């Protein structure tokens, strides 16, 4: 295995509204766990306009691009030669976020290393919450989630707005969802994966699922194998940490998981360009 393969490409610091550790604390934790590279992926979501057809999640603030860039640049200097530190974002794939993105990028000089595209909310509710899952039931909740994710991925691909799809089956995070069975959602997930492969996008192995109700990453092994069978090659690993305590926690375990799905490479990103290293 290349030493460069031990990565955590999904970290929220205090630049995200729900991040609890500073970028410095996260970088120190990554180095303590012997990671070779991290990318901060702060939430990139926008306040929805008032005239939307259905409710949308309202973030408390929008990522301050200049301050964020300065913080990551400074960390890069501190850790040069010991830990690669990347500037990334987790872009919400809800329609209003994609609408707002071009204007945001035009007014900020930020150049990301990696953009994750993730869907968090449907009809204004976070998809892992019982208030979203319970009224629809698990099959209906998953169906609507994947339908919306497919719409978001298609549009993000057209805009070249993201590189990798984050926590692909996040809806299973809800305690009342129960075990996720690919067979129950096969057609829709296959459509989604074909779209991802066709657009040259990657899939993240999000290890926060090990720490949450599913007890397995987002997505699970069968889904990751299906991505590979459909021609997918780009896989990243991320802890989705909101605190330094979990940075890189399951990165080594995730490499075994990626190998078990049949991949022989993991993907590193710099300036939104993929580079493959053996695992
Ligand atoms: Zn997310
Ligand atoms: Zn996240």
Spacing, Cα 241 to ligand 1 middle (Å): 10
Q: Are 32 and 25 in contact (CB under 8 A)?
A: no
Residue matched to tokens 């690993």 = 237
The fold adopted by the segment(s) 3-278 is: TIM Barrel (3.20.20)
Q: Which ligand is nearest to the CA of 238?
A: 2
Instruction: Please list the pLDDT of the chain residue by residue as tens digits (279 residues).
Output: 888 999 999 999 999 999 999 999 999 999 999 999 999 999 999 999 999 989 999 999 999 999 999 999 999 999 999 999 999 999 999 999 999 999 999 998 899 999 999 999 999 999 999 999 999 999 999 999 999 999 999 999 999 999 999 999 999 999 999 999 999 999 999 999 999 999 999 999 999 999 999 999 999 999 999 999 999 999 999 999 999 999 999 999 999 999 999 999 999 999 999 999 999
Ligand minimally distant from the alpha carbon of residue 89: 2
SS (H, E, C) 2-64: CHHHCEEEEECCCCCCCCCCCHHHHHHHHHHCCCCEEEEEEEECCCCCCCCCCCCCCCCCCCC
Q: What is the whole-number distance in angstroms between the Cα of residue 43 and the centre of ligand 2? A: 7
Residue 163 CA to ligand 2 centre (angstroms): 15
Q: For the residues of 188-243, what is the DSSP string, one character each?
A: HHHHHHHHHHHTT-EEEEETHHHHSTTSS-BS-HHHHHHHHHTT---EEEE--BSS
Q: Residue ranges per domain, the chain? A: 3-278
| N-to-C CA span, the chain | 4
């Amino acid at each position: 295995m290349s030493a460069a393969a031990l990565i955590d490409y999904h970290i929220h610091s205090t630049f995200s509204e729900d991040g609890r550790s500073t970028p410095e604390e996260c970088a120190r934790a990554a180095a303590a766990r012997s990671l070779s590279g991290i990318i901060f992926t702060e939430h990139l979501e926008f306040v929805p306009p008032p005239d939307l057809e259905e409710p949308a999640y309202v973030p408390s603030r929008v990522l301050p691009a200049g301050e964020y860039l300065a913080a990551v640049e400074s960390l890069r200097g501190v850790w040069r030669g010991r830990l690669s530190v990347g500037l990334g974002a987790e872009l919400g794939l809800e329609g209003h976020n994609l609408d707002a993105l071009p204007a945001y990028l035009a007014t900020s000089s930020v150049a990301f290393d990696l953009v994750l595209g993730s869907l968090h909310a449907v009809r204004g509710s976070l998809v892992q919450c019982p208030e979203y899952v319970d009224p629809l039931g698990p099959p209906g909740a998953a169906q609507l989630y994947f339908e919306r994710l497919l719409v978001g991925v298609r549009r993000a691909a057209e805009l070249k707005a993201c590189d990798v799809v984050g926590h692909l089956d996040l809806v299973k995070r809800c305690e009342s969802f129960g075990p996720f069975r690919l067979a129950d959602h096969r057609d829709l997930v296959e459509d989604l994966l074909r779209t991802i492969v066709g657009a040259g996008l990657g899939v993240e192995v999000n290890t926060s699922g090990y720490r949450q109700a599913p007890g397995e990453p987002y997505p699970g092994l069968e889904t990751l194998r299906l991505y590979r069978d459909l021609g997918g090659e780009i896989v990243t690993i991320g802890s989705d940490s909101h605190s330094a305590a979990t940075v890189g926690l399951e990165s080594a375990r995730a490499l075994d998981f990626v190998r078990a799905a049949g991949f022989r490479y993991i993907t590193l990103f710099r300036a939104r360009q993929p580079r493959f290293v053996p695992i």
